[in-house]
Amino acid sequence: MAHSLRQKLADLVLTGELRPGDRLDEQSLATRFGVSRTPIREAIRQLAASGLIETRPRRSAVVRSFNREELGEAFEAMGEIEALCAGRAALRMNEAERLRLRSVIAASEDTCARGDRTAALELDFEFHGLLHDGARNWMLKAIAEETRMKITPYSAALFTMEDYEADLLQPHQQHAAIAQSVLDCDAVAAGKLMREHIAQTLIALETFFETASENNITSTKKGSGG
Amino acid sequence: MAHSLRQKLADLVLTGELRPGDRLDEQSLATRFGVSRTPIREAIRQLAASGLIETRPRRSAVVRSFNREELGEAFEAMGEIEALCAGRAALRMNEAERLRLRSVIAASEDTCARGDRTAALELDFEFHGLLHDGARNWMLKAIAEETRMKITPYSAALFTMEDYEADLLQPHQQHAAIAQSVLDCDAVAAGKLMREHIAQTLIALETFFETASENNITSTKKGSGG
DNA sequence: TAAATCAAAATTGTATACCAAATTTCGATT
DNA sequence: AATCGAAATTTGGTATACAATTTTGATTTA
């Protein structure tokens, strides 16, 4: 019961059950979760406010979808936010957190060798989460996590899609390099490496979607016009 | 009627009619705006998701309040976000936008000389809004405006409080310096000056609240424990 | 007087039912 | 195959009801 209705709805999107462009039917969701339309509607509004889904008057809410340009801008913004967190974390993390960072990198090395994509995705989240906490700034953390959440429907594809032979090693090595900078208290290097890491994630993502479909990032019939 | 119910509720907070810590009674608001509780509740949830107000189960929603530490972190985050926007804007604004920036600074100089605090506040918003647009990144803009909105209940005090002899000239001159850097396409200087501008705004704010009350930023009886 | 206690009143969270307006679906037609 | 239009569906909102809590206020006690 740790999951609020809002979180349950969000999970439908974050786990990929609902994909960008998919509609959220209030009645179906109400039936599915055993509640009335009222709380479903409230949860939908909250998710819309946080940017995970979109609503237009008299239309069903749909999972937020980005075109290539929007995705590029989102990654640019996320790169800067994450770089800020990494830089701050390099200066502010305490010893316990630094130890934890080491162990996450070690675990990541392991799952990477085993090719366990699910575990790799979780460790990816944990790595970034540690830096968000380490930055010692609740607003920066909130911004970072919200930004990350918005992009999740896209970036998770890199880890979970079976048919895409994404290199698990490359992102891991980038994480390891960032972690080393953080452990060295080198804020500038940590920020720079993080910015590059995010940029390369975008490149991997665009490559993936280019392979998947010709010129449309989402799986919906009609792409959302810029 | 360009104002949605959500915006009307937000305005209660942003204009200072509802201050940090104040409760939002659903029935009263419903009666006041001539609607039923349902849409009020939805609007409240949206504002809670965007961080302007807080909700706890079975409690009335209250206007978000920051203690000194939280306010400091919020300004640190906002300083970095605004600096990012300013830096990008310096490189990306087009000629029309640069002209507009000039005219806003000129108008600001005018209102500043006349001591018109209300107009000064509006021009302050417009100045920052121009840079948010000029950064050519919808997500950065969204983050910047949401961050700014959260802080508004506090920072607006500097402009509107009659009894505080805030220097209108100082922030204006900082804006002018930032604008000049932007017009010179000097991203580094624009970012640096913006970061300093936000930092000085926080100092002015803390001075103001220190004057107003001993050790409690909000006007509520019981301060929210850190 | 100040603090503690307990019952009454008010408020939230959710359910239901109902309705108008708009959108979507789908079959008929060109 | 594309278009058109009517029927069915869906959203957005109103109103009412009610249990679970929280808040308020009065009363009692130290």
φ and ψ at A18, to 5 degrees? -105, 130
B73 touches chain A (CB under 8 A): yes
- From CA A91, how far away is CA B199, in angstroms rounded? 19
**Is the predicted pLDDT of residue A225 greater than 50, yes or no?**
no
Q: How far apart are the first and last CA of chain A?
A: 40
φ and ψ at A44, to 5 degrees? -60, -40
Could you tell me how many residues make up chain B? Answer: 226
Spanning CA of A6 to C1' of C11, the rounded length in angstroms is 22
| Closest Cα in chain B, distance from residue A185 (Å) | 20
ipTM: 0.91
Across A56-65, A167-176, B161-170, least confident range? B161-170
Spanning CA of B220 to C1' of D28, the rounded length in angstroms is 30
The confidence score (pLDDT) of residue B212 equals 66
% chain A with pLDDT above 70? 89
Confidence of residue A190 (pLDDT cuts 50, 70, 90): very high
Average pLDDT of span B184-211: 93
B38 touches chain A (CB under 8 A): yes
The confidence score (pLDDT) of residue A214 equals 45
Probe site for chain A from B139, B145, B224 (most A CB atoms < 10 A):
B139
pTM of the predicted structure, to 2 decimals = 0.91
Q: Answer left, alpha or beta for residue B85, where phi above 0 means left and psi between -120 and 50 means alpha.
A: alpha
- From CA B196, how far away is CA B209, in angstroms rounded? 20
**Is the predicted pLDDT of residue A169 greater than 80, yes or no?**
yes
Better-predicted residue by pLDDT, A77 or B210: A77
Q: A13-57, pLDDT tens digit by residue? A: 999 899 999 999 999 999 999 999 999 999 999 999 999 999 999
Confidence of residue A218 (pLDDT cuts 50, 70, 90): very low
Name all domains of chain A by residue range, CATH numbers in brackets.
Answer: 5-20+29-63 (1.10.10.10), 68-212 (1.20.120.530)
Could you tell me how many residues make up chain A? Answer: 226
